[in-house]
Amino acid sequence: MTAVTHRPFSQALDRLRAAGLRPTRQRLALAKLLFDCCDRHVSAEQLHGEALSSNIRVSLATVYNTLHQFTAAGMLREIVVDAGRSYFDTNTTDHHHFFYEQSGRLEDIPGDMVSVTRMPQAPQGTSIRRVDVIVRVMG
């Protein structure tokens, strides 16, 4: 009961420190919601809702700012599958997505389950930033 005290924010804290972001109450709470569980795909609106449900007072604007800061810091990856809504993925490793067109849900496809072969050259003077494979499913 001495050194092994429960430290609920340690992971979040470390992540923020590593990213050079001040660990404010809001950022810590959002980081905890995002990273303490499994891999997640959240929209800003969703995360804001979760924060409020958890009695974390945070404005939607701050949620947007925070999601973008986390993305810029490489802690999140932004996924676009649907005009008019951004999803943020806590899994930043190489992987792709199933998109359920009816429900709007996203699901990871592990990177090694899809191989893109015969990639074209990047056009003159450009470099490839990322290759997104989106498998759109129905039913």
Footprint of a copy of itself (CB under 8 A): 78, 80-86, 98, 100-101, 107, 109, 112-120, 122-123, 125-139
- 44 binding partner (options DNA, a copy of itself, none; Cβ < 5 to 8 Å by kind): DNA
Are residues 10 and 34 in contact, defined by beta-carbon separation less than 8 angstroms? no
Q: Which two tokens stand for residue 122?
A: 């990047």
- 123 binding partner (options a copy of itself, DNA, none; Cβ < 5 to 8 Å by kind): a copy of itself
CB of 117 to a copy of itself, least distance (A): 5
Are residues 47 and 33 in contact, defined by beta-carbon separation less than 8 angstroms? yes
User: Which residues lie near DNA (CB under 7 A)?
Assistant: 21-27, 43-45, 57-62, 64-66, 68, 83-86
- 53 binding partner (options DNA, a copy of itself, none; Cβ < 5 to 8 Å by kind): none
Run of H or E including 87: strand 85-89
The residue behind tokens 């930043």 is: 92
* CA pair distance 103, 57, nearest whole angstrom: 29
CB of 112 to a copy of itself, least distance (A): 8
- 61 binding partner (options DNA, a copy of itself, none; Cβ < 5 to 8 Å by kind): DNA
* Alpha-carbon distances of 81 from 41, 71, 96, 115, 116, rounded to whole Å: 12, 17, 12, 20, 19
Judged by beta carbon, residue 55 or residue 117, the one nearer DNA is 55
